[in-house]
Amino acid sequence: MEQMVQGILVVNTETIPGMMITETLGVVSGSTVRAKNIGRDITQGLRNIMGGELVKYTELLEESRQEAIGRMVADAMSRGATAIVNVRFATSAVTAGAAELFAYGTAVKTE
Amino acid sequence: MAVGEGTWLVMGLLIALPFLLLALIGILWTVAYPLMLIWAVLFSSKKLDRQIASTTSREASLRESLGRDPLTTIDGGYRTDITSCGIVWTGVVFGPSHWHLLIGFLNNMIGGSIDIFQKVVSAGRAEAMQRLRESAIDNGWDDVINVRIDTSDMAPQGGQGGIKAVEVFAYGTGVKYG
């Protein structure tokens, strides 16, 4: 089970079932900007003609999002939090080739 | 002089190599694209139907084995016996084929609802939701609460040509009942 990301509990609900939030430590966030590489662009461009899923881009975005979450968790750890609640994700395209993946939430102390 | 003709030739080739490669890719693209487009015209609709059928059957069999749909959008859930929880997420990059783009373009000129794009995006979204169910079950969760689904454009305005696809991103909190 991947409920703990480096010892910090991450959920996107407002409360954690079975735990009391004792203190909020502000908004924590993590982001990453990923460019697709040219080799992938060519193969995925060919795949795009046929339509359907672009597997390499799915993988790329998954890795990037993992990194964004990792940075958010590192931010929370530096504040001494034990959990992050109400996590939201946002995606924006900086240019045609690069996407920014952004994760944010509220760092809290629980007991 | 130490620099002979051979050295100049090698240097010239090294400088020209990237341009030659680009030209080669350009030529290959020009030749291959019409062939790929014909392939797409013939088979992309079948491929999409197959994808939809596969997603639907996986969803149906999972629902049958669990007796319910594990996804809910309720914040906090409706049961009080939750023992552990954690985030689950999944993303799918899904695009229409160039044949579907052409149909959509023609449909757009007539106006009204563009059914083909609706079908493509729905297929991507159904696939993302099904993967969220599967990854939640694989990670040992009983249910996923507070599910949110985002759809973002992979081909922003101003990007010439390139990829035409959307990313469907689904996330929620996996819960385990005691």
Instruction: Report pLDDT digits (tens) over A49-106.
Output: 888 898 888 888 888 899 999 999 999 999 999 999 999 998 887 776 677 889 999 9
- Provide long-range contacts, Cβ within 8 A and 24+ apart, for A57-60: A57/B93, A57/B154, A57/B163, A57/B165, A57/B167, A58/B91, A58/B92, A58/B93, A60/A34, A60/A36
Q: In terms of residue numbers, what domain contains B112? A: 5-177
Q: In terms of residue numbers, what domain contains A105? A: 4-110
CATH number for B30: 3.30.110.70
Q: How confident is the model at residue A1 (pLDDT cuts 50, 70, 90)?
A: very low
Question: How many domains is chain A partitioned into structurally?
Answer: 1
Interface residue A7 vs chain B (CB under 8 A): no
Instruction: Report pLDDT digits (tens) over B115-173.
Output: 899 999 999 999 999 999 999 999 999 999 999 999 888 765 544 556 788 889 999 99
Pick A49's closest partner by Cβ from B90, B97, B171. B97
Residue B169: CB atoms within 10 Å: 24
Going by C-beta distance under 8 Å and a sequence separation of 6 or more, which residues neighbour residue A80? A25, A109
Distance from CA of B52 to the nearest CA of A (A): 10
Q: What is the pTM of this model?
A: 0.84
Q: Give this complex's ipTM.
A: 0.87
C-alpha B105 chain-centroid distance: 21
Cα separation, B74 vs B145, whole angstroms = 6
- What residues of B are in contact with residue A66 (Cβ under 8 Å)? none
Question: How many domains is chain B partitioned into structurally?
Answer: 1
Give the pLDDT score at A16: 87
CATH number for A33: 3.30.110.70
- B90-110 b/e (C-beta count within 10 Å ≥ 16 → b): bbbbbbbbbbbbebbeeeeee
Q: Per-residue pLDDT for B15 more than 80?
A: yes
Mean pLDDT, residues B89-114 taken together:
90
Q: Which amino acid is at A82?
A: T
Give the pLDDT score at A24: 92
User: In residues, how long is chain B?
Assistant: 178
